[in-house]
Copies of this chain bind each other. A is one copy, B any other.
Amino acid sequence: MNRRSFHRAPEGERRQELIEATLDCISEFGLKGATVRQIAIRAGVTAGLVRHYFESKDQMVAEAYRAVIASLTDKASQVEGDPETRLREFIAINLTEPVADSRSISLWAAFISQVRVDPALAEIHREGYLAFRNTLQELLADFLAAKGKPADAETCRAFAIAINGLVDGLWVEGCLAGDLFREGELIAIAMSSAEALLGTSIGTAKQ
């Protein structure tokens, strides 16, 4: 009964691997298919190790959720350039891989379905949502100001809610049925819709 050989992973790396394996399993097998054993197999370790890095499976899953939100919001919050470019990029990034793909929405949906069940996840969700919308709202404030349009807080809030809804909705459509759309179709629709909403060009003619 020989014991299997193994190597000790560098500081913090194993944790990340386990979180990544958790997300892989959730996206492939769903939340109930993401068992400690399955996750361990995916990470190339044995099941017991999970509890060496996390207090419980639930805690690991919660941290995995943080990672999902980060992957969905990080890119969009790092856009650079003039306000117009940033707005355009913000929209495009959210409708392009890797943000927009079937794995992302599987993960997002899995966690959303737990928001009512687990208050800890609800808290993580709310933080992420507000951060995302605030990013968009500030971006819109800069954009409207640059265009010489009214950019009071209330106006920006309404625009942020609307465009956030539009982008999220198109994101869902694209993730769930990407094959029903032509290449770039969703982004084109998003851009022209945003222009119509804001009543201003956002320079889509450039591309």
Given contacts A113-B109, A117-B33, contact A166 B177 (CB under 8 A): no
Question: Is the Cβ of A126 less than 8 Å from the Cβ of B177?
Answer: yes
Name the B residues within 8 Å of A115 (CB-CB): 106, 176
**CA distance in complex: A166, B109 (Å):** 18
Name A169's contact: one of B27, B117, B166, B196 (CB within 8 Å).
Answer: B166
**CA distance in complex: A192, B168 (Å):** 18
Question: Is the Cβ of B173 less than 8 Å from the Cβ of A27?
Answer: no
**CA distance in complex: A13, B32 (Å):** 29
Binds B, one of A3-11, A39-47, A74-82, A157-165: A157-165
Question: Is the Cβ of B165 less than 8 Å from the Cβ of A173?
Answer: yes
Name A161's contact: one of B29, B102, B170 (CB within 8 Å).
Answer: B170
Q: Is chain A's binding surface mostly helix, strand, loop or mixed? A: helix
Instruction: Say yes or no for A105: interface residue by CB 8 A criterion.
Output: yes
Instruction: Say yes or no for A116: interface residue by CB 8 A criterion.
Output: yes
Q: How large is the interface on A (under 10, 10 to 19, 20 to 34, 35 or more residues)?
A: 35 or more
CB distance from A201 to the nearest CB of B (A): 14
Question: Is the Cβ of B197 less than 8 Å from the Cβ of A193?
Answer: yes
Name the B residues within 8 Å of A49 (CB-CB): none
Name the B residues within 8 Å of A54 (CB-CB): none
CB distance from A74 to the nearest CB of B (A): 20
Given contacts A169-B172, A196-B197, contact A177 B31 (CB under 8 A): no
Name the B residues within 8 Å of A199 (CB-CB): 196
Name the B residues within 8 Å of A29 (CB-CB): 117
With both beta carbons as reference points, the residue of chain B lying nearest to A118 in the complex is identified as B30
Report which A residues bind B (CB closer than 8 A): 26-33, 102-103, 105-107, 109-110, 112-117, 125-126, 129, 158, 161-162, 164-173, 176-177, 181, 185-186, 189-190, 192-193, 196-197, 199
* 11 A-B residue pairs with CB within 8 Å: A29-B117, A31-B31, A32-B32, A107-B113, A110-B113, A158-B189, A161-B186, A161-B189, A162-B166, A162-B193, A197-B197
